[in-house]
Chains A and B, each alone.
Chain A
Amino acid sequence: MGKGNSKLFDWINMAGFVWLAIIMLLPFLNVITLSLEPAHIAAETGVLHLFPREITFEAYISIWQYGSIQSAFMNSAFITVTGTLLAVLATGMLAYGLSHREITGMRLITYLALLTMVFKTGIMPTYMLVKHLGLIDSLWAVIIPQMLTAFNLILMKVFFEQLPKELSESARMDGCTEMGTFFRIIIPISAPIIATISLFYAVEYWNEYFTAVMFLTSVDKKPLQVLLREILIESVNEGSGADSLNLGKNMKMATAVYAIVPILFVYPFLQKHFTKGILLGAVKG
């Protein structure tokens, strides 16, 4: 291929990706614009709202004034932070164990884990289990059942399998126990996969809605997503309070911004590791 052709290809490529980026950014821009516009402007149909004609924060303020939004934020933060830490720990420990082929029953446990990818238990058995564990109306009911997912386990297992065996062997020769090897040797060199899995779990926990609705009963235990969904319903529900109906579309969009922005801030910090981690797991797996 000539140099000219290659340049042309680059330009076409770039134009294509810019086009794709615009397509993906427009809905975001639309959501942010609508959330910042006064209700009567946001309600206008047949117009593309990409730049606010007037700016008001009434929708954001109205949502923030919901009685339980602060506690919902704290609950979501607790679920996300605690859940992610514990989930990464549990997944990492199991994956490390399963990456040692010499362990008896390793295959069986791997297959059992894989089985959960194919056959999902319905809500009923999970509910019964949570109930019998006495976790109904506890934030732990949202954290514990999601602490280990087979997909993340496989990713981590594959990553650990690629690490040179000599590392753990030399650690053992230096007197390290398996736990010591795991925490002192393996974890520090596994930043890419830990960042990747953390991101997966964090997004999952942050967005958790169904289990929270099913297992939590107290108003003060509702996580953010449940509350935001309620606010969203309020804005179209005929029996809702005056405020939510008065606002309408801008309030809906503001709830979307509230829901995505906090977790969005995590991405830039993890992106470098995230890409690397995914490639490691995928290419050599």
Chain B
Amino acid sequence: MKKKRTLFGAIIPLLVIPIIAAGCGSSETNVGQSGESVPPAAHNQSGTGEKPVTENEYPEMDMRYMLRGTDKARSLLDLMEKKVKERWNVNLEIEMVDKNIYEEKLNVAFAAGNQADIVEIGNQSLVAEAIQNGALIPVDDIIQREPWNQMPESFFKTSSVDGKVYGLPQFRSLPETIYYRVDWAEKLNLKLPTTPDELYEFLYAMAKSDPDGDGVDNTYGFTIRPDFNETSAYFQMFLPVHVTNMGLYLDEEEGVIKSSYYLIDDMKAALAWFRRAHAEGVLDPEWILEVQSNSEDKFMTGKTGAWMKGVQWIGPRAAKIKQGNPDAEITSLPIVNGTYGANYATINSSTANVYLTNTSKDTERAKLVLEYLLSPEGTLDMAAGEEGVTFTVENGEIHWLAEGAEQYYNSGLIASIPIDVELPAPDPVLENNMERARGFRLVEDLAPYVSASEAVARRGADIKKVMEEYFSKIIIGDLELDQYDKFVEEVSGDLDAILEEVNAIYVTMN
């Protein structure tokens, strides 16, 4: 009996403590914390050119900003919330939602009329539907002002309907580049490639000349994924655009959207390049089973000499590879010029737009907050905070004042902002990498037309599946290269229907 009582006595506090503790975890605590962590230096600053105002000039109001993302340093969010409070007397709540569930949550919130005041929307169909239902508010007045009026018009294309602009761009598209092992290339005295053949020889040497010096034939030039994501820089040596998304591109001379699947000789040349790499052991034979994290791990642990990633994301990888091998160095290969120019190419557009919904009780103030959030100041605040408040720079290095902020810092995010801004501290690895990609091609963003096409929604996935199957089999040698003609024959019916519809949409929208 005594034992039972003791157990009971132990269980009760276990039940009660979390209840009390969770009950205490209100946002008020955080406001208090932020007040302590942010010095008065941040007071009354505005990155939007608006005259700073005091809290008294505006009645207090709540506002929500919902975006895709993961947890950020509380101290950085506190800083942003404090600025918004001081300038416009707005209690801003920044809600980051798991990207895999974001769209569903957004849809449900819109349907239930519970959407945030400011939301990020990536899905074009949802944008169109929301505009049609009057759920989004135009921001044409904002884009007349700096820095928005300095941006290319194409950055507002995906968020424009009937001549009105509804969204502000959050990131610009930057190309994927081929990272390589600088230390291996130097050791093997390799000349940096400028043509597809030279690139092949370069990767061949990485695979066959024992670049890691362990005397064992255990390295490969590169690996790819069977869904052909992160292979654009290889395919674009032979083609105008990447093969994913049905190879759709705008032939600017003719003003017609075409598919690179119909560039049969070029496509065969691309597949022959991969096929040879597979046959000669330059391409890791496990590529057919590869997933994203594996291909990265292989590059990081010295199994492959090259790997593809967005040009701006090199910083953390350069640091990571040094953990296992302090002599390892990485950067991107310079541009390889192919049939259609630079192999590094990306869409001339923004990759995520942020919109103002009709939920807000004070649209004008919501616009001011939106402008701040996406301004260089707001973006820097979210990425790193403010110098002297959350960090200081000494001898070109960042020293963090805000607890935990270093855990979240990635200079690549700042490089992705659609406006050129100075990094909080010099980042030679990133800057050198960006330099390597200089001269990359910009291609027309077809997302507004593709997303509006019912034919794409109906048949796009099937074409992708057939493409992956044929391309994989041709590369591993299960099918002859000439079987590519059979692939074209198989998909041409659906592809033609898609091209017809997408071109019609293109003509209508332009």
Q: Assess the A45–B64 pair: CB atoms within 8 A.
A: no
Taking CB atoms, residues of chain B closer than 8 Å to A234 are: 70-71
Bitwise, B24-50 to A at CB < 8 A (1) or not (0) is 011101100000000000000000000
Does B407 lie within 8 Å of A131, measured CB to CB? no
Kindly state the separation between the CA atoms of A242 and B409 in the bound complex, as whole angstroms. Answer: 6
Contact with A along B8-20 (1 / 0, CB 8 A): 0000001100110
Closest to A234 in B: B70
Name the CB-closest residue of B to A218: B27
In the assembled complex, which residues on chain B have CB atoms less than 8 Å from the CB atom of A242?
315-316, 319, 406-410
8 Å CB interface, B206-220 against A: none
- The CB with the most chain A CB atoms within 10 A, among B30, B66, B77, is that of B30
Question: Judging by beta carbons under 8 Å apart, are A237 and B70 in contact?
Answer: yes
Q: What 10 pairs across the A-B complex have the smallest Cβ distances?
A: A40-B324, A78-B22, A241-B408, A77-B18, A245-B316, A230-B70, A43-B297, A243-B407, A67-B74, A238-B313
A-B contact sample (16 more), CB < 8 A, given A66-B71, A241-B407: A39-B320, A67-B73, A67-B75, A74-B18, A75-B25, A81-B15, A81-B19, A85-B15, A123-B104, A127-B109, A220-B30, A230-B96, A233-B70, A239-B416, A241-B410, A242-B406
A40 CB contacts on chain B under 8 angstroms: 300-301, 320, 323-325
Contacts of B64 in A (CB 8 A): 217
B19 cross-chain contacts in A, Cβ below 8 A: 78, 81-82
Q: Are A213 and B22 in contact (CB under 8 A)?
A: no
Instruction: Assess the B297–A78 pair: CB atoms within 8 A.
Output: no
B310 within 8 A of A: yes
Name which of A100-108, A162-170, A221-229 contacts chain B: A221-229
Q: Which of B27, B108, B413 contacts A239 (CB 8 A)?
A: B413
A222 to B97 Cα, complex, angstroms:
11
Tell yes or no: B132 within 8 A of A by CB.
Answer: no
Contacts of B99 in A (CB 8 A): 233, 237
The verdict on A271 contacting chain B, using a C-beta distance below 8 Å, is: no
Q: Which residues of B contact A (CB under 8 A)?
A: 14-15, 18-19, 21-23, 25-27, 29-30, 64, 66, 70-71, 73-75, 77, 93-101, 104-105, 108-109, 111-112, 114, 292-294, 296-298, 300-301, 303, 309-310, 313, 315-317, 319-320, 323-325, 403-404, 406-410, 412-413, 416
- CB-CB < 8 A to B105: which residues of A? 213-214
Q: Are B317's CB and A243's CB within 8 A? A: no
A79's nearest neighbour on chain B, judged by CB, is B22
Interface size class of A (residues with CB under 8 A): 35 or more
Q: Check A68 against B108 for contact (C-beta < 8 Å).
A: no
- B172: shortest Cβ distance to chain A, in Å? 13
Chain B residues closer than 8 Å to A226, beta-carbon distance: 98
Which A residues lie within 8 Å of B66 (CB)? 217
**Is A41 positioned at the interface, with any CB of B under 8 Å from its CB?**
yes
**A18-77 at interface with B (beta carbon < 8 Å):** 38-41, 43-46, 62, 65-68, 71, 74-75, 77
Interface residues of B, dominant DSSP? helix
Interface of chain A, main secondary structure: helix
Q: Write 22 A-B pairs (CB below 8 A) sorted by A numbering.
A: A39-B320, A43-B300, A46-B303, A65-B407, A67-B75, A77-B22, A78-B19, A81-B19, A131-B112, A213-B101, A220-B25, A220-B30, A230-B98, A233-B98, A237-B99, A238-B313, A239-B413, A242-B319, A242-B409, A248-B293, A248-B297, A249-B297
Q: Is A139 located at the chain interface by the 8 A CB criterion?
A: yes
A136 touches B (CB below 8 Å): yes
The interface residues of chain B lying within 8 Å CB-to-CB of A139 are 22
Beta-carbon contact of B71 and A67 below 8 Å: yes
A236:B293 contact, CB within 8 angstroms = yes
B324 near A39 with CB under 8 A, answer: yes
- Docked Cα-Cα span, A78 to B21, in Å, equals 8
Residues in chain B near residue A243, CB distance under 8 A: 406-408
- Residues 128-143 of chain A, each 1 if its beta carbon lies under 8 Å from chain B, else 0: 1001000010010000
A185 to chain B, nearest CB (A): 19
A238–B324 contact, CB under 8 A? no
Does B70 contact A238, Cβ atoms closer than 8 Å? Answer: no
Inside 8 A of A68's CB, which chain B residues have their CB?
71, 74
Q: Is the CB of A43 within 8 A of B71?
A: no
